[in-house]
Chain A
Amino acid sequence: MKKMLKACWNAFPGVKGKLGLVILLFFTVIALFGTWVAPYPKNFIGFDSWLPPSVSHWLGTDSYGQDVLSQMIYGTRTSFWVGILAGLITTVIGVTVGIVAGFKGGWIEESLMRIVDLFLIIPTLALMIILASFLPSMGTMSTILIIGSLSWLYMGRSIRSQTMSERQSGYVEAARMVGMKDWEIMFKEILPNITPVILANLVLVTTQAVLAEAGLSFLGLGDPTNVSWGTILALANANNAVLFHAWWWILPPGLAIAFFCFGFILIGNGILEKYRANRGNAAL
C-alpha cells in the first residue's frame, strides 16, 4: 500500500506536477465527500440575505439567503464531474481520430484533418450554445455530452502529429512484420507509447471542459436544478452582487475554477516536460 502510494506520487513529475496533484486531491475529496462536509443542505433557503462572512457562514450568504460555502461545496461536485467526464469523452474521440488519421494516412487522414480544420474556425462556444438552447431540457448529462463531443479538435490534431512520428519507429515496422492487424498496431503498440502526450492533452481538455461548463451555466444553459461554480457566478452577476459589496459571493467560485484548472495545467506541464526530456521534442 505504502509502495503504491509512493509510485503514484512519483508518477507526477517535478515540483509543478506534485503541486498540481495536491490541488487536485483537495478538490477530489470535496467532490466525493461534499455531502458530509457541507454545513447546510443543498439549495437550502432560509438565512438572512447578504450576510457577510462569519463563524456560522464562512463565506456569507447570497441574495436568496443561501449559505455560499455550502453552495460552493455542492457546486464542486458538478464542476468536477463535468470536467472529468467531458474530458474523458473528448479524449476518447480525440485519440481515436488522431491515431487513425496519423497511422492510416492517405484519404482517411486527409478527410479527417479537413473536417478538423473546418470546425476549428467555427467558434466552439457558439456551437455549444445552439445545441444546448435547442435541447428540450438541459441536464448535467447533456452538458457533459455537448462539451465532450465538441472539444476534441485540437487534441485530434496533436495526437495525429505524434502518431505520425511514431509510425516511423522500428517497433511499428516490427509489429507489421509479425503480421499484426492495423487496429492492433494502433491501439496496442502506438497508444501505450504516446500515453504521456495523451495525458497532457487530457489535462488540457479537462480544464477547457470546466471553463466551458462555467460559460454555459453563466449563459443560463446549465441544469437549472443543479448548482455549479458557473451557476453561482451567474446568479451573483444577475443579482448585482457587486453593488451589494458581496465579494464573498463573487471571489470563491472564480478562484475555485482557477485553482482547479491551474492544478490540471501544472500536472500536464510536468508530464510534458518529463516526456520531452526523455524523448526529445514532443508536439502539443
Chain B
Amino acid sequence: MRYNSVYLVKRIGIALVTLYVAVTLNFLLPRLMKGDPASALASEKALGSQEVANALKAQFGLDNPSLWYQYAKYIKQLLHGNLGVSYANFPSPVADVMLKALPWTLGTVLTATLLSYLIGWLIGIRGAWKPGSLFDNSTLFSSFFLSSVPFFWIAIIFIMIFSFYLGWFPLGQAVDPAYDSFAWFDKAKSVLYHAFLPVFTLIIATLAGHILVLRNNLMRVLSEDYMLLAKAKGLRASRRKYMYGARNALLPSFTGLMTSLGHVIGGAITTEIVFSYPGVGMVTFNAILNHDFPLIQGSFLCIAISVIVCNLIADLVYPLIDPRVALN
C-alpha cells in the first residue's frame, strides 16, 4: 500500500506544529506565572555554584532582558539537547535525568495501553453482542465505576492487597536492589516482576474507557446491512461476531487509542509515585517537592514530545490497517 503524499505531509506537519506549540508553552508559561526566568532556570542558590549559574544565564540569554532574544537562545539550546541543569541532581543535566526515566514510563504505558485496548475490545464485543444481558449490564456498571476512580488509588489498593498482604509482588521500585550483579536473564525477570503491578494498575484504570468506546462502535457495526446479509447467508455466529463485527469495530477506535495516550501518561505519573517507579512521574514528583524548576520544565517537554511522536506513529500506521483513511 502506498502512502498518499498529501496525507503524509499533513500528518507530519500537524506533529511539527504541535511540537512547536509545546516548546513555546514550555518557554512562556513559567515566565507568565513567575515572571523571573533566572530564578527558574539558573538560581545560584539552588545550584550552589556561581559559575554554573552564570554559564546557564549566558547559554539561555537570561542576561538580556529581551524576551525574543531569550526565546531564540532557548530554541537554540533545545536543538542542542540542552534543557538546563537539574537543581536537585546537580550537576546532572535535565536531559540526562529525563532520558534515564523515559524508558520506564514509555515501557509500562505502551504495554498497558495495548493490553488494555485488547482486553477492552474482547469485553466490549461480548457486551455489544447481547446488549442488556447480565454480562453487558455488569461490565457497563463496573466501567462507569472504574472511570470515576483515580489511578493512584487503584495503585495503592493493589499494592496493599497483592504486595503487602499476599506478598506476590514487590512493594515498589523498578528492579531488584542487587540488579547490577544479575545475569541478563535474571535482569529481565526482575524488570518484568517489578513492572507487573504498575502495568496491571494502568490496564484496570484505562479498561473502562476502552470497553465503552468499543462497545459503542460495535453496536453501530452490528446494525449495518452486511451483518444482516451475513446472517442471511447462514454464517456461524462466531464468524459473524469476530470476522465481520469485531474486525470492523476495531478500526474507528484506533485513533482514539493513541489520543488516549496522553490520558494514560497523566495517570502513569501518579501511579509511579505509589510504586516508587523511577519513570517520568517519579522524577516530576521529586522535582515538585524540591522546587527543581528546570526539571519540571524538562519533564513537561518530555511528556509532550513522547505523546506527539506516538501520535505521529499511530497516524502513519493507521493507513496500513485501513487504506480508506489516507484516501480522503
Contacts and interface: CB of A to CB of B under 8 A. Distances in A.
A269 interface: yes
Contacts, number: 148
Contacts of B86: none
A233 B171 CA distance: 17
A254 interface: yes
B136 to A, nearest CB: 15
Contact of A237 (B26, B144, B274): B274
Contacts of B21: 118, 122
Contacts of A123: 262-263, 265-266, 303-304, 307
A29 interface: no
B67 interface: no
B40 A233 contact: no
Contact of B34 (A134, A260, A265): A134
B284 A118 contact: no
B269 interface: yes
A139 to B, nearest CB: 14
B293 A133 contact: yes
B3 interface: no
B308 interface: yes
Given A221-B288, A243-B164, A262-B144, A130 B18 contact: no
Interface residues of B, number: 51
Contacts of A207: 148
Interface stretch (B51-59, B121-129, B149-157): B149-157
A251 B157 CA distance: 8
A258 B30 CA distance: 33
A236 B151 CA distance: 15
A215 B145 CA distance: 18
A214 interface: yes
Given A130-B26, A266-B144, A136 B274 contact: no
B271 to A, nearest CB: 10
B70 interface: no
Interface in B272-328: 273-274, 284-285, 287-289, 293, 296-297, 299-300, 303-304, 307-308, 311
A124 B156 CA distance: 23
Interface string A95-126: 00000000000000000000001101111111
B33 A134 contact: yes
A124 B307 CA distance: 12
Contact of A258 (B17, B149, B296): B149
Given A123-B304, A218-B273, A257-B150, A136 B34 contact: yes
A131 B26 CA distance: 10
Contacts of B299: 126, 129
Contacts of B153: 233, 250, 253-254, 257-258
Interface in A147-174: none
A126 B300 contact: yes
Given A118-B17, A269-B144, A125 B269 contact: yes
Contact of B150 (A121, A254, A259): A254
B106 to A, nearest CB: 13
B25 interface: yes
A209 B265 CA distance: 17
Contact of B149 (A122, A130, A218, A254): A254
Interface in B133-166: 144-145, 147-153, 156-157, 159-160, 164
B33 to A, nearest CB: 4
Contacts of A64: none
Contact of B157 (A117, A129, A254, A266): A254
A45 interface: no
Contact of B33 (A122, A135, A230, A247): A135
B152 to A, nearest CB: 5
B179 to A, nearest CB: 23
Contact of B156 (A133, A250, A257, A260): A250
A118 B24 CA distance: 13
Interface in A214-248: 214-215, 218-221, 230, 233, 236-237, 242-243, 247
A233 B29 CA distance: 29
Contact of B22 (A122, A230, A250): A122
A215 B152 contact: yes
Contacts of B22: 122
B29 A133 contact: no
Given A220-B288, A266-B144, A250 B157 contact: yes
A73 interface: no
B147 to A, nearest CB: 7
Which of B266, B284, B297 counts the most chain A CB atoms within 10 A?
B266
A233 B160 CA distance: 14
A88 interface: no
Nearest to B306: A123
A215 B259 contact: no
Given A121-B262, A125-B266, A265-B144, A219 B285 contact: yes
B288 A133 contact: yes
Interface of B: 14, 17-18, 21-22, 25-26, 29-30, 33-34, 40, 144-145, 147-153, 156-157, 159-160, 164, 171, 259, 262-263, 265-266, 269-270, 273-274, 284-285, 287-289, 293, 296-297, 299-300, 303-304, 307-308, 311
**Interchain residue pairs A-B with the least CB separation, the first 9:** A261-B148, A125-B266, A254-B153, A123-B262, A134-B33, A134-B30, A126-B303, A258-B149, A130-B300
Given A133-B288, A221-B288, 8 more contacts: A121-B308, A126-B300, A134-B293, A215-B269, A237-B273, A257-B149, A261-B149, A265-B147
